[in-house]
Structure 1
Amino acid sequence: MKKKKDILFKAAIVTTLVVSLLTAPNTTSKAAGLAPVNPNASQAAKNVLSYFYSITGNKIIAGQHNNFESPHQYTNQAFSISGKYPGLWGSDFGYGASGQTNMSTDRQRVVDHAKTAWLTDGDIVTLTWHEVKPNEAENAGWASVQGDYTSQQMTDLVTPGTTLYNQWLTRVDEIASYLKQLRDANVPVLWRPYHEGNGDWFWWSGKPTQYKQLWINMYNRFTNYHGLNNLIWVYGPNANNQWAGPLADYYPGSQYVDMLAQDIYDGDYSQSYYDEITALAQGKPVGIGENGEFPNISTLKSSQPKYSYFMTWGGGYLTAKNSNATITNTYNDAFVLTRDKFDVPTANSNILLNPNFDSGSLGSYWGAYGTSPGVVRNDGNYRSASYSFNMYSASAYNSNLISNEYTVNSGTYTAQVYAKSGGTWTTAQLEVYKNGTLVSTKPITTSGSFTSFAINNIFAANNDKIKVSVWVNAGAGAWFYFDDFSLTKN
């Protein structure tokens, strides 16, 4: 939050909830900026970023933040008032309150709801993290999030090898484990870390040089070490008001930022704030990362058209700061994109979860059955990542690997698997089931290297349920490796 009274308002909400969510300029052309800063970004992340470029200057997406203890509460409240769902769903990995032993249950809930938001509801997902000071307990609470470090301590924290750096690394690696679940589910995320760093109310804020290095350290760790290629990196300063500093002073650099979104409260949508962030963005999409009062649509259309989304904060801000009439009128304005008014391109976005078994197991996403069901292996026989699924038996066997069932929208789909195999068999095939019935198969032939086998033109109606399988009826000694399953909408 940008102002002391808004910080207190947020903190007061937390108290009543018991455990709460509180929760150098770019000189490249717009065309060059269309690609994410991560050269290995997933297709889904590319699609989302491209969509923001496409609506810039023409539309704005309505967004709603949700507390992690009830991650769809305020999204549903917006619908109950306006008859429209927001098109952007937000939440927070948060911090622990006193007496809370860990955050795993709450954070897993956020991940599960983020999957629902993108895969089922069709919402764009944005996440942030109110992190406690890395050298304090996870349940140190809001006071720790708002704690302070000296300049030297912050320098230590961003310097590899120091105690503070290692403590920070432990914390960010834990959050990476949750973001990996979203990566493996092919859920793109507007990742807005260390927001409001140009203020002075969070431990990471108020020290420009160290702040920029902190951001860069997280970017490198998440991108180059953890391979979180589903993230769209959003620089989230506070609007440059009397409580915050210039946005450019804290900007990590265009090579580390995909989008910019500033936090604005008290209806303070000054033209100078808009001009400052659009100048710094140099063509990158901009948004309103947090707000209390909704932006005025007439003002957006006339003088601030490049804001591409706004996200109303949770914890009661939706109705505490906006009347039902304002919510209804805004959500139903033609300039505002709600869930029903936009469709981010999803071609090449894989619907299947854990498609290459990079978790090291089938997890809860696949089932293996038969006389020799097979196992996930990392024995060097893989197409991508480090794992694949292996079927083998010294005697004849019958085995089946089958995905969970996925509810899809109407359209045409393609199912695909990469297979490597040897030996003899009666039957080996890729299969697609729709609403519990086998509807299509593709024979899998012998190949000493990973080869693609695909089923095209799978028609589905809205809310049809699809699952993908491989079935093998094999002779003694026959072997198979399967990797990189996919189910994509054409």
Structure 2
Amino acid sequence: MRALIAFTALVLTSHAAAQFEKRIYQAEQAELKGVKVGTSVQGYTGHGYVEGFDEASDSIIFSVNSTSTELFDLEIVYNGPYGDKYTTVVLNGAGGSQVPLPATTEWKSVPVGQVLLNAGINTIELENNWGWYLVDAIGLQVSKQRGPHHITTIPVNKNANSDAKALLEYLGSIYGRNILSGQQDQASLDWVTQNVGKTPAILGLDLMDYTESRKSRGASSTDVDKAIAFAKRGGIVTFCWHWGSPVGLKDTNDQSWYRGFYTDATDFDIESALVDTTNANYTLLLKDIDTIAVQLKKLQDASVPVIWRPLHEAEGKWFWWGAKGPEPAKKLWKIVYDRLTNLHGLNNLIWTWNSVDPTWYPGDETVDVVSADTYSLGDHGPIAATYNRLLALANDTKIIAATEVGSVMDPVQLQAYDADWVYFCVWSGDFISGGRWNSLEFLKEIYNDPYVLTLDEIQGWKGVNTQ
């Protein structure tokens, strides 16, 4: 009997090992559109690799047979001798996820998230996007079932007030069970209410027009008042800060002052400003932070906790706070955190980091939530690759949010891929109302899906036990 048990265990172990065995598909054996097989760059596997991604329509189409509907981890084996690039991964001809291919002169494997394969023949297409890279193969492996999350709902600010504690606790209570709907800008949120028939649970706002470099040129804002009003309705608010550079605005016909948060619209150098604490530009940074503190204090006094997202999209480098790389950006983040928390006593903030690359991460001790902004026209996929990168960034100890999206994610796919975004926030204007990024019919489906929580469904969220 013992021998039979041992034999059975061996068979089961072997089956399990086979189940999770990686399957490799050579690029040169796939269907090639506008690209060709190369052999001059040594180190590839198989009989060659695929090169020539120089036209928008160029792609490789892999045919993959699956015996059942199952979730697979996908990786790309590539070489990137021409700098940082991107490819777009399209599953079964629908949607598409943008995947970064960092510069390398060696053949490397990069994980690109998961794909849900149907039983039968599936296609995985690598579309050009930002081309000039070499593709050797793709690898597929059945995804191992993810265990429970290990998130913390204790704010990083030890003096966080009861409002901030309640908000983080509430986010943790729905994490992996539901997703909160969100909308940037009051006018766009009102459009959702009027046209979809439901009101988002989260209102996204901006502290952009409260600092001197913009106010001195006529800018003004009532977003803080709108936040207080929405919170009185039982909603949740989140603020970003398109921080107009405090000095150095080019203010030309091509680069107007109101674009002053963009790297190309200002001469402000964050690296030199942070060299020491005595130079004039450092002082101007502190002045702007202090100005914003006044507005955040109004929210704190009104018992409004804020999902606070400063220095967003830093790793993109298109904003001046990220223009000089990760070290100045992380240094500025810590200055903002320290000044608002310890000098100004702002204890109503949920600190939300908004870059995915681990070299930019300022550290767990000043971050409550990790997040990403993603825009892919017409793609309602789960953004699983980005979610998984954020999961790894903080070792699954932080709640994860989709703080800006163009196209809303399909709740069915979110659950199938275990992409447990705690909320989405659609950007304003045409992104929500134009019909290209999100059709009205699709929005109605989203807002009536039980997985998606709306304003009427989160009433009383502050009553979550925070002990």
Does the C-alpha gap of structure 1 residues 279 and 136 become closer, same or farther in structure 2, counting only changes over 3 Å?
same
Does the C-alpha gap of structure 1 residues 103 and 180 become closer, same or farther in structure 2, counting only changes over 3 Å?
farther
Q: Is the 8 A contact 1:96 1:141 kept in 2?
A: no
SS at match of 1:78: helix
2:444 to 328, 338, 347: 328
- Name the CA distance, whole Å, in 1 between partners of 2:246 and 2:214: 17
Q: Is the 8 A contact 2:373 2:403 kept in 1?
A: yes
- Name the CA distance, whole Å, in 2 between partners of 1:158 and 1:96: 26
1:146 to 240, 259, 262: 262
Shift of 1:161: 2.1
Shift of 1:158: 6.3
2:287 to 156, 170, 181: 170
Partner of 1:478: none
Partner of 1:64: 183
1:296 to 403, 407, 410: 410
Q: Is the 8 A contact 2:249 2:268 kept in 1?
A: no
Find out whether 1:118 has 2:231 as its counterpart: yes
Q: Is the 8 A contact 1:97 1:142 kept in 2?
A: no
SS at match of 1:307: coil
Find out whether 1:256 has 2:366 as its counterpart: yes
SS at match of 1:168: helix
2:162 to 43, 58, 63: 43
Higher mean C-alpha displacement, 301-310 vs 47-56: 301-310
- Name the CA distance, whole Å, in 1 between partners of 2:193 and 2:227: 18
Does the C-alpha gap of structure 1 residues 153 and 94 become closer, same or farther in structure 2, counting only changes over 3 Å?
closer
- 1:447-474 CA deviation, whole Å, 9 max, x = no partner? xxxxxxxxxxxxxxxxxxxxxxxxxxxx
Taking the TM superposition and a 5 Å limit, the aligned residue runs for 1:276-425 are: 276-281=389-394, 282-320=396-434, 321-347=437-463
User: Please, what TM-score do these two structures have when normalized by structure 2?
Assistant: 0.61
Does the C-alpha gap of structure 1 residues 100 and 39 become closer, same or farther in structure 2, counting only changes over 3 Å?
closer
Shift of 1:34: 1.6
Does the C-alpha gap of structure 1 residues 158 and 180 become closer, same or farther in structure 2, counting only changes over 3 Å?
farther
1:135 to 236, 239, 247: 247
Shift of 1:117: 0.8
Find out whether 1:33 has 2:172 as its counterpart: no
Does the C-alpha gap of structure 1 residues 42 and 168 become closer, same or farther in structure 2, counting only changes over 3 Å?
same
SS at match of 1:213: helix
Does the C-alpha gap of structure 1 residues 324 and 345 become closer, same or farther in structure 2, counting only changes over 3 Å?
closer
- 1:463-486 CA deviation, whole Å, 9 max, x = no partner? xxxxxxxxxxxxxxxxxxxxxxxx
Does the C-alpha gap of structure 1 residues 32 and 130 become closer, same or farther in structure 2, counting only changes over 3 Å?
closer
Q: Is the 8 A contact 2:211 2:291 kept in 1?
A: no
Q: Is the 8 A contact 1:58 1:305 kept in 2?
A: no
- The Cα RMSD (Å) is 3.0
- 1:60-114 CA deviation, whole Å, 9 max, x = no partner? 0000000xxxxx211111111221100001111124899975489733x111110
- 1:189-244 CA deviation, whole Å, 9 max, x = no partner? 0000010001021101141011111100000000000011011100112xxxxxxx
Shift of 1:32: 7.7
Shift of 1:325: 0.5
Shift of 1:283: 2.4
Shift of 1:33: 2.1
2:306 to 167, 170, 189: 189
Structure 2 gap segments, 5+ residues each: 1-85, 87-147
Q: Is the 8 A contact 2:183 2:425 kept in 1?
A: yes
- Name the CA distance, whole Å, in 1 between partners of 2:282 and 2:272: 9
Does the C-alpha gap of structure 1 residues 60 and 347 become closer, same or farther in structure 2, counting only changes over 3 Å?
closer
Partner of 2:348: 230
One-letter amino acid of the counterpart of residue 302, structure 2: A
SS at match of 2:181: strand
Does the C-alpha gap of structure 1 residues 158 and 344 become closer, same or farther in structure 2, counting only changes over 3 Å?
farther
Partner of 1:199: 316
Does the C-alpha gap of structure 1 residues 96 and 257 become closer, same or farther in structure 2, counting only changes over 3 Å?
closer
Partner of 2:187: 73
One-letter amino acid of the counterpart of residue 235, structure 1: W
Q: Is the 8 A contact 1:158 1:210 kept in 2?
A: no
User: Please, what TM-score do these two structures have when normalized by structure 1?
Assistant: 0.58
Q: Is the 8 A contact 2:369 2:399 kept in 1?
A: yes
One-letter amino acid of the counterpart of residue 361, structure 2: Y
Structure 1 gap segments, 5+ residues each: 4-28, 67-71, 238-245, 350-490
Q: Is the 8 A contact 2:250 2:267 kept in 1?
A: no
- Name the CA distance, whole Å, in 1 between partners of 2:226 and 2:449: 27
SS at match of 2:390: helix
- Name the CA distance, whole Å, in 2 between partners of 1:116 and 1:104: 24
Shift of 1:143: 3.2
Percent identity of paired positions between Structure 1 and Structure 2: 33
Does the C-alpha gap of structure 1 residues 142 and 165 become closer, same or farther in structure 2, counting only changes over 3 Å?
same
Partner of 2:133: none
Find out whether 1:265 has 2:375 as its counterpart: yes
Partner of 2:173: 54
Q: Is the 8 A contact 2:261 2:320 kept in 1?
A: yes
Does the C-alpha gap of structure 1 residues 96 and 55 become closer, same or farther in structure 2, counting only changes over 3 Å?
closer
- Name the CA distance, whole Å, in 1 between partners of 2:307 and 2:348: 9
Taking the TM superposition and a 5 Å limit, the aligned residue runs for 1:443-458 are: none
Task: Count the aligned residue pairs.
Answer: 307
Taking the TM superposition and a 5 Å limit, the aligned residue runs for 1:83-94 are: 83-94=197-208
